[in-house]
Amino acid sequence: MSNGTERPAAPAPITTARASIRDIARYAGVSVATVSRVLNGSALVKPESAARVQRIMEEHHYLPHAAARSLGRMRSETIGVVLPDIHGEYFSGLMRGIDAVAREARLHVLVASAHGSLREAREVTQSLYGRIDGLLMMLPEAVDPNEAQAMTCGLPTVWMNGRHGALEGCHVSIDSLTPARKLTQHLIDGGRRRIAFISGPRRNMDADQRLRAYLSVLAEQPDAMEPLVLDGDFSEESGYQAGRQLCVQPQSVDAIFAANDMMALGCLFALQEAGVDVPGQVALVGFDDVPIARYVNPALTTAGVDVAGMGGKAMSRLIQLLGPEPGEATDDVFQPNLMIRTSSAAVNTGQGINAENKRRASDQR
């Protein structure tokens, strides 16, 4: 490419190796520095020169080489996003929020999934070094703060969803504890006492908070039954299975708290298949407020989590971190709103309650 010493006229075919800044400089009859200046919008260029350079660049379909530029200015204008996995509405919502803010700041986004593994998270993050200016991190599970700190490779980092021990730095997260407590309490307030819980993935920090909230509220409620926890993994399939399992002896339970909406929906369909009336016989609540939650029948009570908002906030914070005024460590916590809908209507207002359930609920109130 471009070893000629004269100024060729024909624009390079765009499928071929592209012109470099030197070629443009030569064609335009200026120095490389000048081309670099117009590239970066420097004011110290004579308008005519600038125009000529511009024209030549267009004629040759010139594009600056990002890697070279990165190396020169030690900045890639790219942010790395490391996530536990790539699944469903949660992932897409997060990415949408991140992308919206990144685009505004003309930043690129490099996504990497840890595939649920801490080791992979570490590896992938290291291989990002030199390719990104900052990091948005969400680990599949809690780790030692030193370990977490080491994983950033010294890059400016905003942690999402969950503090790792006493880890310093900037955090953005969604509180699960409070709304999960409220949801459990809401079921109790509705006259439910025999509440089952469908858990999320083991070691997942959100799932864990939700479970703990459920357990703690039950513990404070003397006339509630012993906790009943069914295994789930956040998939509708696992919710469906849990629902079927509960249908074997539906009388033993009058409410179900699923750790996320997809499982709640799977569970709902299992219950309906078995002819169990929701919320008449069994109340049901989820977590996340996925778009479909309000459309199902009965509409699903849940906690409205603004994942996109959190992603956007994380990106904003990171951008500030990269700027001249990084500021102190921050910790932004998003509070979900409770979306009380039909699936958790109180027993005395529910329809089609069978006598036994009704009696028991009244007895215990």
Which residues form the interface with DNA (CB under 7 A)? 1, 20-22, 29-34, 36-37, 39-40, 43-50, 63-65, 68-69, 71-74, 130
Write down the least CB distance from residue 204 to DNA, Å. Answer: 35
Q: Is 91 in the site for a copy of itself (CB under 8 A)?
A: yes
Binder of residue 29, out of DNA, a copy of itself, none (CB less than 5 to 8 A by kind): DNA
Q: Is 16 in the site for a copy of itself (CB under 8 A)?
A: yes
How many Cα atoms are found within 13 Å in the side-chain-facing hemisphere of 282? 29
Binder of residue 154, out of DNA, a copy of itself, none (CB less than 5 to 8 A by kind): a copy of itself
Binder of residue 354, out of DNA, a copy of itself, none (CB less than 5 to 8 A by kind): none
- Of 131, 202, 359, 365, which one interacts with a copy of itself (CB under 8 A)? 131
Binder of residue 45, out of DNA, a copy of itself, none (CB less than 5 to 8 A by kind): DNA
> CB count, 10 Å around CB of 142?
18
Residues 262 and 115: their CA atoms lie apart, in Å, by 20
Residues 38 and 144: their CA atoms lie apart, in Å, by 48
Collect contacts of 138-147 with beta carbons under 8 A, ≥24 apart: 138/82, 138/83, 138/84, 138/162, 139/82, 139/84, 139/114, 139/164, 140/84, 140/85, 140/114, 140/116, 140/203, 140/204, 141/203, 141/204, 141/205, 142/203, 142/205, 143/118
Q: What mask, x for binding a copy of itself by CB under 8 A, covers residues 25 to 64?
A: ------------------------------------x-xx
Q: Which helix (H) or strand (E) holds 80?
A: strand 78-83
Residues 344 and 352: their CA atoms lie apart, in Å, by 14
Closest CA to 187 of 352, 364, 356: 364
- Of 154, 222, 324, 352, which one interacts with a copy of itself (CB under 8 A)? 154
Binding site for a copy of itself (CB under 8 A): 14-16, 18, 61, 63-71, 76, 78, 86-89, 91-92, 95-96, 99, 103, 106, 108-113, 115, 126-131, 149-150, 153-154, 235-237, 240, 262, 265-266, 269, 272-273, 291-292, 295-297
